[in-house]
Structure 1
Amino acid sequence: MDKLKSALDPAIKRIVDPLIASPVPGPHMGGVEDARRSFRVSRRALAPALPEVASVHDVPAADDRPAMRVYRPWGIAGTDVLPAFLFFHGGGWVTGDLDTHDKACRSIANAARCAVIAVDYALAPERPFPAAPDDAHAAYKYVSAAFAELMIDPARLAIGGDSAGANIAAVLALKLRNVGAPPPRRQILIYPLTDFSAKTASKAEFEHGPTLNRAALDWFARQYLPDSAMATDWRASPLLASDHRHLPAALIITCGHDPLRDEGIAYADRLESAGVRVRRRHFPGQIHGFLLMGGVVPETTILIGEVASELQHAFAG
């Protein structure tokens, strides 16, 4: 095996082998609602038991911002002011919601001892690009202004997400830099898509994979980007931004058996070349999406620990 890819984690192999033997239809084989339903069902089957937290509070949407869900970690008094992690869920800009990532957000809150604020951003195709990054910016502005109500420290904010959510977080970091807004302490990018137009070795290697593959990626792109020319817009493909200087320090997590592996690595390279501090964590035996597989994949706990450790370090600085 090469240094980027080892044998599949045995826990992952037990998930993937039946899919190879009897493939299930990908999102491109049905409609949007079928894809959303399938994502919810599959992630529920792989999730851990519900982690208990101190509180969960839903913030309704308003004209100028999306809905959000605020988690406070177990054992924290209701009056304590906490650092906060603004989290954007994955799901290809089309699927996923506050509920699909509920257990992951709870686990991160407990492990990092911070508030986690999950954002219910706009989904395509009903609200295509650039609605999602616009919602992300609106959510960040709201959280920064409503710190007293949310009982969070506005000087200790971090942003991040998984997959499509990591893409949105990377774009948000660039946008905040561009408008001169106070930067987040950290950007946590878990197996991000960073370039819709990229033709990488990992995309070719896993073109026909049993989980995330080229057909699924192309379908998500068609839903999210009304015009294929938008693929080179930095708000869709943050790797293609003209300037990556003066961005928040980053934790970038990649997986060996993931078509997005190489563009995650490329984004880490690009940030480092621009003088941004990057910590890389690579899981050579893992597949895309394993953040939501904590019920069957022990390494998910390690992933959450890496995120929590990075957040604690960021908030302590």
Structure 2
Amino acid sequence: MTSSDDAGVTGPLRSDEPDPDARAVLAKQAERSDGPIAEVTLGRLRAGFDADPVHRVPEPTPMASVENLSVPGGDEAVDLSARVYRPLSDAGDANRDDGDSQSTVLVYFHGGGWVVGSLDSHDELCRVLARESGATVVSVAYRRAPEHPFPEPVADACAATEWVADNARRLIGDRDGVSVSSEEPRLVVAGDSAGANLAAAVGLWARDRRRDGESAPELDRQLLIYPTVSRRNDWDSLTENGEGYGLDRPDMRWFGDQYFGHDLDRYHPYACPLEATDLGDLPPASVVTCGFDPLRDEGIAYAEALAESGVGVTHHHYPDQIHGAASMLGEWSVPAGRTILTDVAGDL
């Protein structure tokens, strides 16, 4: 792993082979596959993703409390399911320098191509993030495509973040004797893959609102774990890693077709943040990229574009890892996924 305050990659982009644990998971998933996702019914696809052994965790990481609740969506008539993770009082001790991570609320958007994924598939990921950072994590189940294409998931992510900002102190609550700072809680948005796309969109939306003189949440940081941020299809990593590493190019095209109701949507910066002509005045970013991920190069490009726009960037690159590693924490696991989460938690 290379980690740097320089947005670029200082070591190799890609190891000779993926991490052995990642290879083992890929082999098991290939045996379990129902075939191309375009040929699987939506209900079966979603159920299979949640039931994947990489997401089934026999002993979830303990929390002080876990609360299921509803938060407003982008449509006033819609409520979204959400889950609040309040870590134990000693959470984040290894990473915390100044004691204020326990006054941080992190809003999390799950990955899954905007189509699959849920609060349950990313339950352990959110638990680990809460434990390692000391932050209260609020996982949000935004409406998914194809029933709800762009821009509805973005509207949900923005509305949910705004609600969390307004209720941050209550969401942190009393945690096993923790004394919460009297200062305003810090707010972080985060996600993996398609969820990182939504987190980046929230950052752009909040900045645009403030520039227009409207109220918007003040974001302390954005955590973008192998984000999808570009409409381009000519990245080298798409050719190098587009088959056999857990996220194949035909599947990526299918996910995109479900999410983008019109091809012109792909040019909107809230849909593909790398399309934004102005990336200034955004919150500091932690960006994760992986050597065997087809999204690797666009993630690197986004980190570099943010840095060139004056945004503080911490880039974590894992040359031997695959797309999805951070959520592969279950019966079939990639232990380095927990390392990724510990590393980004340290940025808080």
State the TM-score, normalizing by the size of structure 1.
0.91
* Cα distance in 1 between the residues matched to 2:29 and 2:170: 46
1:159 aligned to 185, 189, 192, which one? 189
Does 2:243 match 1:243? no
Cα deviation digits, residues 227-281 of structure 1 (max 9, x gap)? 1221111111000011000111111000000000000000001001101110110
Tell whether 2:339 aligns with 1:298: no
Aligned to 1:66, the other structure's residue is in SS state: strand
Higher mean alpha-carbon deviation, 146-155 vs 263-272, is at 146-155
The equivalent residue for 1:72 is 86
- Structure-2 residue corresponding to 1:310: 347
CA 1:48/1:3 → structure 2, altered by over 3 Å: closer, same or farther?
Answer: farther
Give the fraction of aligned pairs with identical amino acids, expressed as a percent.
37
For residues 213 and 54 of structure 1, do their structure 2 counterparts lie closer, same or farther at Cα, with a shift above 3 Å needed? same
Gaps of 5+ in 1: 312-317
Alpha-carbon distance in structure 2 between the residues aligned to 1:163 and 1:25? 21
Q: Which structure shows the bigger proportion of residues in helix conformation? A: 1
Q: Which moved more, 1:35-44 or 1:234-243?
A: 35-44
Q: Is the Cα–Cα contact under 8 Å of residues 47 and 292 in structure 1 kept in the other structure?
A: no
Give yes or no for the alignment of 1:3 onto 2:17. no
Counterpart code for 1:297: V
**What CA deviation, in whole Å up to 9, does each residue of 1:144-203 have, x standing for no partner?**
112343236754011110000000000110110000124311100000000133421111
* Distance in 2, Cα, partners of 1:149 & 1:289: 32
Question: CA offsets per residue over residues 33-71 of structure 1, 9 Å max, x none?
Answer: 122122112255564631110001112244365222111
Picking from 118, 122, 130, the partner of 2:139 is 118
Unmatched tracts of structure 2, length 5 or more? 1-10, 92-100, 174-182, 211-215
**Residues 159-168 or 146-155, more deviating:** 146-155
Residue type matched to 2:35 in 1? P
Alignment-derived partner of residue 254 in structure 2: 219
Quickly say closer, same or farther: Cα 1:10–1:81, change in 2 above 3 A: closer
- Tell me which amino acid in the other structure corresponds to 1:107: V
**CA root-mean-square deviation:** 2.2
Aligned-residue offset at 1:17: 3.3
Find 1:274's aligned residue among 284, 305, 309.
309
Match of 2:240 among 195, 205, 213: 205
Structure 1 residue matching 2:229: 3-state secondary structure = coil
Q: Which moved more, 1:194-203 or 1:245-254?
A: 194-203
With a CA cutoff of 8 Å and minimum separation of 6, indicate the structure with the bigger relative contact order. Answer: 2
Compute the TM-score of the two structures, normalised by the length of structure 2: 0.83
